[in-house]
Structure 1
Amino acid sequence: TYGVLVTSSITKGKITAIDTKAAKNAPGVLDVLSHLNKPAAPGYEQAGGSPMKIFYTDEVFFNGQPIALVVADTFERATYAATLVKVNYEKAAFNTDFLKSISNPSAKKLQGQPPYVRGTADAYKTAEVKIEQTYTMPIETHNPMELHGIIADWRTNDQVTVYAKTQGVKAAQATIANVFKIPQENIQVKSEFVGGGFGMALKTWPVEIATVMASKHLKKPVKLVITRDQMFTMVGNRPSAYQKVGLGATKDGKITGITHTAFGQTSTYENFTEGVVNMTKFMYDSENVNTNYYVVPLDLSVPIWMRGPGEATGAFALESAIDEMAHALDMDPLEFRMKNDPEQDPQKKLPFSSKNIKEAYKLGSAKV
């Protein structure tokens, strides 16, 4: 059997009514699942656990949120029947503007990581040469050719086999066991060909739990493959980022201070943070480094790590600032980097287990 999702057409609010009569009466349709006829998921009844309890609430947290699942004997019939589901909403005010939220003092912001200070904060401001720059990144979505999908087969005696696009079969097994409160040994998760994971396959998403629910409810295997447009809202993304970097140096090119303040995007229903400012703490030799990282909750779907995760986002800003400082000093960018390459980890005050970055710089420049 085949599942097709019905998604929210509003950004925030509540579902006041779902009319599934026409969809259920359509040819080949087995049932339509929603919060009105949700199958038992004991893990969702407990406090805590998954922040997005699919089909267990009438709340809408973001546009495109899955709110119902149509299951039919063919994909085409399920797709058609999904268009017949009618939903009424009570709309609420929403906020999806990342940059506006950063500049708005009254907009909610959460500390994503404790402030870090080594030496003197904002020491770059008194340097012989200084630069201050702002770097922004938009949302980046996971969009490999292969769409995200799952097959779930819930059999008698609570034996479950799942064919999932996952980079963590044990994590998926544990998540399913926790939601349905069945032993992990009852669950087989098969992922022979992960394909392009890119980070979206690091998590068991609500749509995957919904497919397991449907198989349990119908006592039949159910296959769900989300659509191309649903790839933008259902399986995470690299979050937006706004970063300010202040860099100070002596006239001969020795870094005297680095300040790195970053803002990332998260959702209102689940908090997501990553190590955006981590590299700044140890990448270059400076006695004075301070970092701050905040996240802005928006009425969007929750982000996830993307190849590579937050350190890549932070490196974009840090390395761009390093290039701009080299330009301000009229100094070769590689020479500037090598002059400020630390002999030990400046953050931990420990030797590196291995470090060949100078050799890599030289080899790379020789090959260009």
Structure 2
Amino acid sequence: MSATLIGQPLARIDGRLKVTGRATFAAEFARPGLAYGALIQTAIANGRVANIDISAAKSAPGVIAILTRENAPRFKPYPDSLSKAGVPGESRVPLQDDEIHYAGQHLGVVVAESFEQATYAVSLVRMTYQTQPPVVTLDDERLQKNATFPEKFAGREELQVKRGDVDAGLATAAHKIDVVYSTPIENHNPIETYSTTGEWEAPDRVLIHECTRGIKQLQRVVANAFGLPQDNVRIICPFIGGAFGSKGFQWSHTLLAAAAAKLVQRPVKLTLTRPQMFDSAGQRARTEQRFSMGAGKDGKLVALRHATTTHSSPTHEYTESCGNMSRMLYSCPNVEVSHRLVRLNLTTPCPMRAPGETPGVFALECALDEMAHEVGIDPVEFRLRNYAEI
């Protein structure tokens, strides 16, 4: 007996709740005695905080407390498995020093009786900085001596791959191209912005309402940071309003909400604004991809070199693995794939919908089109001639 799901109606369990507005998302949990947090962020991209003047903000209407590096808890570092090179997400806990690595970095939280009061009080905080020139573009000459060539993506896929002799293949190719493609930074920006509500049920027990795809991972992060048994950390997330990659990892607002709640001994809700989604919770990194490609008179590839330059933040290594499909999608005896990583004063990138493959295949297919034009055959026919047998 055989069965198929094609064409069969399936009940979507959460459908009725969502279309009737009865699905409760992270920002919609209203706990008794709830207070509201708003982020204090840096206005520079590189340097140090010399002084934070919170005197005016403290006396603003409705303000309960202000969390900064001066009164923040001494968080324990993220677990090694989550902070090692190449693993997505932030690798350093917040508010442990005065160093600034990118614009928008979180420097504290104002807690008030309402979101509007907290937001207004943030505008009264005054910063004094010791500034350094930021590095924000891939072609900055200061980057050249510090560029690295990571070996693996997230500890799995090889990032530096050679097969055959690309230089020899190019030397004998009847047709060649040498082209560069670039892709910009892309931000996830799901409909639901990040929101965390931290509530201490006991001195050693915390409840967190969070929009996350990684409940168990976040439980480990919070437990480790506050020195708690994992069973004493509850993460609740019944629904997610879009993620696209960014909600699977640890970001500083989660620990800040929990720390603020501990400071004021009340539940605290910290919800990111739409502008803060651009600098607080990952992004797809900018890429520059160079293809050197050669083909014979018969239209078959003889050499393919795909060299990617991309970026991470000064504090963590994450590589957009653009060359993964170039290793295997088309038949070619001589292939070289490389990834060069530079550190920019931008927030740490993270996976976003087909990480690496989206910008990488875009560039690869553009190069195939240009190679087909150089050879003088139809682009579809060119792909068929270079079809890779499995």
Q: TM-score, normalised by structure 1?
A: 0.88
CA deviations 1:239-264 (Å, max 9, x no partner) are 01000011111122111111110001
Distance 1:40 1:329 in 2: 62
Q: Post-superposition shift, 1:330?
A: 2.4
Match of 1:295 in 2: 341
> How far is the alpha carbon of 1:105 from its aligned partner?
7.2
Separation (CA, whole Å) in 2 of partners of 1:248 and 1:235 = 40
Residue of structure 2 equivalent to 1:32: 66
Kindly report the root-mean-square deviation, in angstroms, between the aligned alpha carbons of the 2 structures: 1.9
Deviations, residues 117-164 of structure 1 (Å, cap 9, x unaligned): 101133234311111110011111122332221111122142222111
- Superposition map of 1:306-325 within 5 A: 306-325=352-371
**AA in 2 matched with 1:245:** F
Q: Do the aligned partners of 2:173 and 2:295 also contact (CA within 8 Å) in 1?
A: yes
* TM-score, normalization by structure 2: 0.83
Work out whether 1:338 is the aligned partner of 2:338.
Answer: no
Partner Cα separation in structure 2 for residue 4 and residue 125 of structure 1: 60
TM-superposed CA distance for 1:274, in Å, is: 3.2
The separation in 2 between residues aligned to 1:209 and 1:152, in whole angstroms, is 9
Give the Cα separation in 2 of the matches to 1:250 and 1:98: 34
Q: CA deviation at 1:88?
A: 1.0
1:19 to 53, 65, 70: 53
Q: Secondary structure at the match of 1:238?
A: coil
For 1:299 and 1:38, locate their aligned partners in 2 and report how far apart those are by CA, in whole Å.
24
Aligned partner of 1:15: which letter? Answer: V
Q: Distance in 2 between matches of 1:63 and 1:42?
A: 24
**Is the counterpart of residue 153 in structure 1 residue 187 in structure 2?**
no
CA distance in 1, matches of 2:237, 2:79: 29
Amino acid of the residue matched to residue 28 of structure 1? G
1:245-324 matches, cutoff 5 A: 245-324=291-370
Partners in 1 of 2:186 and 2:148 — Cα distance? 22
- Counterpart position of 2:29: none
Residues 16-25 or 238-247, more deviating: 16-25
Q: CA deviation at 1:23?
A: 1.3
**Number of aligned residues:** 341
| 1:121 lines up with 2:166 in the alignment | yes
**2:111 corresponds to which letter in structure 1?**
V
Question: 1-side partners of 2:343 and 2:360: how far apart?
Answer: 19
- Deviations 1:208-231 (CA, angstroms, capped at 9, x unpaired): 211111112222111111122211
| Contact 2:199-2:266 at 8 Å conserved across structures | yes
Unaligned runs of 5+ in 2: 1-34, 84-89, 152-158
2: CA distance between counterparts of 1:20 and 1:67? 12
**Alignment partner, residue 135 of structure 2:** 95
Q: Secondary structure at the match of 1:210?
A: helix
Match of 2:99 in 1: 59
Match of 1:347 in 2: none
Q: Is the 8 A contact 1:155 1:216 kept in 2?
A: no
